[in-house]
């Protein structure tokens, strides 16, 4: 269950690199939305898909308002993106819809793991997860910014 819960934190640390490369190199409307749609489809779970696409729309609005390629807009939109992804990938399926998910996993033996993760997420752990994702997404954004600056600067 710990791996299930920590997965959004790990993703938030690593995905910032890709997000910032796209956001700083493709300074055109729709780039982050396209990225979000592709990532959403790869998630394959309806709440995740909806929330990831919604985060892409929010990102596009922020970038439209603050400027495409703007580091602050990219950082804020990336944190929003990762928090919404955490809700769609972990909190909704494991805390809110855990029973239905566990019932589907009886055949492959993952039911106990899902129920254990669900129990954990229905306590203060959900709040800690969101806080961890925010911190990790901010760090991921800084890593992404630094890599773009160091290796891809024009």
Count the Cβ atoms, other than its own, within 10 Å of residue 52.
26
- Tens of pLDDT, residue by residue, the chain (154 residues): 788 889 999 999 999 999 999 999 999 999 999 999 999 999 888 999 999 999 999 999 999 999 999 999 999 999 999 999 999 988 887 777 767 766 666 666 777 777 888 888 888 888 999 999 999 999 999 999 999 988 887 5
Integer-rounded Cα radius of gyration of the chain: 16
User: How many Å apart are CA 82 and CA 91, to the nearest integer?
Assistant: 12
pTM of the model: 0.85
Q: Which residues form the domain of 102?
A: 2-151
User: How many Å apart are CA 90 and CA 11, to the nearest integer?
Assistant: 12
- The total of structural domains in the chain comes to 1
The answer to whether 88 touches 45, Cβ cutoff 8 Å, is yes
User: How many Å apart are CA 49 and CA 126, to the nearest integer?
Assistant: 20
């Amino acid at each position: 269950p710990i791996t299930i819960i920590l997965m959004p934190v790990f993703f938030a640390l690593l995905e910032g690199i890709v997000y910032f490369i796209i956001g700083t190199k493709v300074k055109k409307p729709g780039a982050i939305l396209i990225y979000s749609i592709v990532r959403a489809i790869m998630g394959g779970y309806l709440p995740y898909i909806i929330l990831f696409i919604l985060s892409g729309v929010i990102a596009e609005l922020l970038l439209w308002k603050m400027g495409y390629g703007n580091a602050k807009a990219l950082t804020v939109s990336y944190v929003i993106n990762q928090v919404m992804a955490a809700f769609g990938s972990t909190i909704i399926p494991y805390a809110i819809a855990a029973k239905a998910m566990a019932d589907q996993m009886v055949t492959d033996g993952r039911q106990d793991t899902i129920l254990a993760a669900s129990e954990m997420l229905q306590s203060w752990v959900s709040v800690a997860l969101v806080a961890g994702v925010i911190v990790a997404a901010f760090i991921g954004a800084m890593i992404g910014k630094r890599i773009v600056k160091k290796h891809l600067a024009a």
